[in-house]
Amino acid sequence: MSHVFDLIKSMTKPEKRHFKTMNPPTKGGRVSKAVQLFDDLNKMKVYDEEKLKKKGFEKSLRRVEQLLLEGLLKSLRRFNTTSSTKIILTELLNNFDILYKKGFYDLAESNIERAISIAQRLDDHAILLKINSQKRLLFRERRGRKYHKEMTGLLEENKRIKEYLNEEQGYLDAYDTLMLRIANKSRIKSKTDIEELLSSIDKSLLDEDRSPYSNLSKLYYRKCNALFNQLLGKSDLAKKYYTDALNWWEDNEDYKKQNFHQYIMSLSNMIQACHSPEYYYDDVPQLFDKIETSKPITTHEKRIRIEAIYLNKSSYLMNTDPLIKGKEFQKAIELAKEIEENIHSYNINEDFYITIYLNNVLLFFLLEDFNECIRWLSKIQPSIIGLKSKAKENLQLCAWRILLICYHELEDEDNFESNLRKARNKQRSFNIGKESFEYKMTNLLKKLNHNTPKRIEILNDINTLLKEVAPKPSGFDVTSFWVDSRLANKTIIQLLRDRNNKKD
């Protein structure tokens, strides 16, 4: 896949028109190679390098792609100058450098003053630190009557900005450390775990009575405490801090507009946190509303928004606690249909496709609609076949396992045997040994498919294998639910409902 192709597909129509306006044809009507490549890529629905080579780019494709990339970035910078506050700030600081070197100190200072007002509004202390440096450079050059007072004030301001930046960096470090624990699904089970975690961050940043210096630090103070209490299992406190963080976003419209993806991520994190305590499920729909009513500007922001909607809704509706109560089946099915109809309207990356489609596979497996499950598996497999990462390897093995169970349930002997051979070939390509879980599981499924009289005995063997395996493989839960339901002679949903009733 070409990065230039992806960039073009992410551009809006006005952005594309601006690029063409900046690169007009010659008087004879000829266009540059870069513009020709732009036109060819823009017409493509799927990147096709061989097709480009046949159009005259056989020897020059990489060089022309690089020229086109530079031209696109230049055009996008100019086009977005009026809408992106950060680009405006960069332009003002660059203007200062030019004007200062040419000796136009008054004009240089006016650019700096404009930059200060924007940076202060965004609470951007990294930019304010650079501005402080530029102002001191200007005052050293001019040395007016107020030089001593002005320079003293700038030095004090420099010290304060550095304190703010250090605090903000501390919060960012703490946030990423806590997110790692969340991503690894690590639970804090003892005082030793708490002490170990706190030793890796500045624990004073989380103090309840702390008053952070900068406005941005106030946001990260809330986000860090939300994650920390989530890890501790203190759901009420986690919810409080997540809510406080969302309120911060609503009170800082300029920052939300300039950092749209971070805002959407904050909403997604809160939705995921609400999955743990069941009594927070009712809070999730209003968070979906916030994502759906948000106002992305760029194509990239629109993609981030639709990914957040589909992924969070799919995960929420797929969570077994609300699903088994029977309220979410139809919503989940309707969402699967909507995804299938609309997802190709967005330039969404491959990892997202795999994740969202896998949720639909698991949904229809739980519903025991095995034909629909197979259909969604067929959408996933072309994306994951050939990918080499360990995570993708696990997904492929999971896909073959679920596929074999589906064909077994449908009593489709031919497709079971055909896919059994493919599953074995895939295991060999991954160097999966005979002692591995997947190899043993495939053997047991083969026996189950061929040996009806010993069905219960083989299902018990599968159950034993599932209990022994560690770490848990992809798709472990649904495989386990399937085995338990067959042993209990119930549907998967009925089994889960019975378990839920006993828990209540």
Sign (positive or negative) of CA dihedral 491, 497, 501, 503: positive
Q: Mean pLDDT, to the nearest integer, of 341-366?
A: 77
pLDDT number for residue 327? 58
Q: What is the DSSP string of 424-471?
A: HHHHHHTT--TTSHHHHHHHHHHHHHH-GGGHHHHHHHHHHHHHH-SS
- The least confident of 82-96, 457-471, 489-503 is 82-96
Q: Which residues contact 305 (CB under 8 A, 6 or more apart)?
A: 264, 291, 294, 296
Tokens found for residue 408: 């077994």
Cα separation, 331 vs 337, whole angstroms: 10
| 482: confidence class by pLDDT, cuts 50, 70, 90 | very high
| 59: confidence class by pLDDT, cuts 50, 70, 90 | confident
Tokens found for residue 16: 């594309």
**pLDDT tens string 374-408:** 998 888 766 555 445 566 777 788 888 999 999 99
pLDDT number for residue 279? 52
pLDDT number for residue 186? 61
**pLDDT tens string 287-309:** 888 888 888 877 778 888 888 88
**pLDDT tens string 224-252:** 999 888 888 888 888 899 999 999 999 98
pLDDT above 70: percentage of residues in the chain? 89
Cα separation, 93 vs 137, whole angstroms: 13
pLDDT number for residue 504? 58
pLDDT number for residue 323? 57
Question: What mean pLDDT value characterizes the chain?
Answer: 83
Q: Which residues contact 34 (CB under 8 A, 6 or more apart)?
A: 23, 64, 67, 68, 71
- For the entire predicted model, the pTM comes to 0.68
pLDDT number for residue 1? 44
Given a cut of 60, whether residue 326 has pLDDT beyond it is: no
Query: Each residue of 318-337: b (16+ CB within 10 Å) or e?
Result: bbbebbbeeebbeebbebbe
Q: What does the DSSP 8-state code read for residue 329?
A: H
- C-beta of residue 294 within 8 angstroms of C-beta of residue 271: no
Please state the domain extents for the chain. Answer: 3-80, 85-166, 349-504
Q: What is the DSSP string of 92-119?
A: HHHHHHHHHHTT-HHHHHHHHHHHHHHH
Q: What does the DSSP 8-state code read for residue 53?
A: I
Domain 349-504: which topology?
1.25.40
- Nearest residue to 219 via CA among 243, 189, 200, 185: 243
